[in-house]
Amino acid sequence: MVLAVLLLLSAGCAYRRVCDAGHREAAAWLDANALPKESVAADREAAGCFGERPVHPLPATTDSLELLRAVEGGQPDFALAASSVAWDGASAQPWFLERYRPVRAWGRGDAQAGTLVLYEYTPSPFGDGAKHKPPAHFLSDAVVLRGYRLDSGRVGPEDPIHLTLLWDDAPGHPYEGLRVAVRLAEVATGEIWAQSSARLAPLGVALEDDARLAQHVLLDPPGDLPRGSFCVLVSLTEASGRTVEVSDDAVAFDGGMVLATAVHPPDVSDDPIAMDHATAYGFESATGGTRIALLGYDAPERAAPGEWVRVALLWSSSTPVTDDYHVLVHLVSPDGGLVAQGDGVPVYGFLPTSTWDAGTYVRDEHGFRLPDDLPRGDYGIYVGLYLVESDERLVALDESGASFPDGRVALALMKVR
């Protein structure tokens, strides 16, 4: 009995040492400023300091890469860094700097214990997109291209393209003299519409099993980018100016490798247009004379206050539409209030619904700006169709034919952080 009491007292003292002044202040800050379901990464021993908040426990390690991989695996909304050799190295890595920004720091009540720094997750466009293996490799002794990430399979005028190249170097073979060129070429004509050329200078380690170096490339398509298909070409050049050959002639073009393809989609097409998300919603008049299908959409999963948000919708109608309907795109707060909207005639005002041909597909973009002071939260994106003259909305139907209230479909949730 006495031994059990001593063990409990010892455990309690250990808990108090871990949940020191810094941890208590960090927990209080999160309770006041973060959503209850937002997670925090913290030392395993401090996991009990945050009440009901989800915690991603971090390993006790001196290895910065092991710590970074633990953060990447948990994808926490916040990371609480305790002064240590591992955190000093991890927080200086470009991978971490791109995704996390410091928001507060606290002392731990003991000068020897150092400080606690709280970092908040901020998405990097270079982190978007799945990792793909290249279709071939460069015949170089210095580096191997292990993979790449392209933030989207679509391109648009003045819409930056974010490409991450994942390299592995060969010990004893310096790569500093190599240059990497990336071009956006129109498939039909071979014309180059955007390009970037720079010395192969990776920003830091890549948290990949088979790649150690990450290089970011930014392409800026012009405002007059035509509709059509494009290929992303990657070239490698030695210091002498010699172009490094590609191992497979099938993906070699103009001295480079065809790494990926992307599409600037049309506004109207006889064939389905690829979208990020497929839907099967319908809109019809009360009399049943009009029926328009919403077959897909593109929308960001996350945005920051003050940002411009674009939502793309894919419409189709099996019969002619006699009336001109306006599209409503509403951003709705968790308590049901309207905080932003992007209403208008489809396709930037140029394609009223009365001009649609039956059976065609219409890709329609709408945008709105988030208020600068918009509180963090999960906001709903709602879509509907209405007549301007009467403000009457079409009936909105789900996949089973059941109607939604207010003539709007709840399209997606968007995180505002």
51-96 residue pLDDT tens: 999 999 999 999 999 999 999 999 999 999 999 999 999 999 888 9
pLDDT digits (tens, 9 = 90+) for 89-114: 999 988 899 899 999 999 887 666 68
CATH number for region 2-123: 3.40.50
pLDDT digits (tens, 9 = 90+) for 209-227: 667 788 999 999 999 999 9
Q: Read off the pTM.
A: 0.86
Options 2.102.10.10, 3.40.50.2000, 2.40.110.10, 2.60.40.10; which CATH number does 268-416 get? Answer: 2.60.40.10
Interatomic CA distance for residues 111 and 203, integer angstroms: 34
Q: What is the mean pLDDT of residues 244-264?
A: 95
For domain 126-264, the CATH class is mainly beta
Hey, what are 137's tokens?
């490799």
Measured CA distances, 331 to 28, 223, 364, 403, 409 (Å): 30, 28, 17, 20, 12
In eight-state DSSP terms, residue 2 is H
Interatomic CA distance for residues 148 and 182, integer angstroms: 12
Average pLDDT score over the chain: 91
pLDDT grade for 248, boundaries at 50, 70 and 90: very high
Interatomic CA distance for residues 8 and 24, integer angstroms: 21
pLDDT for res 111: 61
Range list for CATH 3.40.50 in the chain: 2-123
If one counts every other C-beta atom within 10 angstroms of the C-beta of residue 104, the result is 16
Interatomic CA distance for residues 225 and 62, integer angstroms: 49
Contacts of 387 (CB under 8 A, 6+ apart): 323, 324, 325, 326
pLDDT digits (tens, 9 = 90+) for 338-385: 999 999 999 999 999 999 999 999 999 999 999 999 999 999 999 999
Contacts of 116 (CB under 8 A, 6+ apart): 22, 23, 26, 80, 81, 82, 83, 105, 106, 107, 108
Report how many helices (DSSP H) and strands (DSSP E) the chain contains, helices first: 5, 26
Percent of the chain with pLDDT over 90: 80
pLDDT grade for 14, boundaries at 50, 70 and 90: very low
Range list for CATH 2.60.40.10 in the chain: 126-264, 268-416
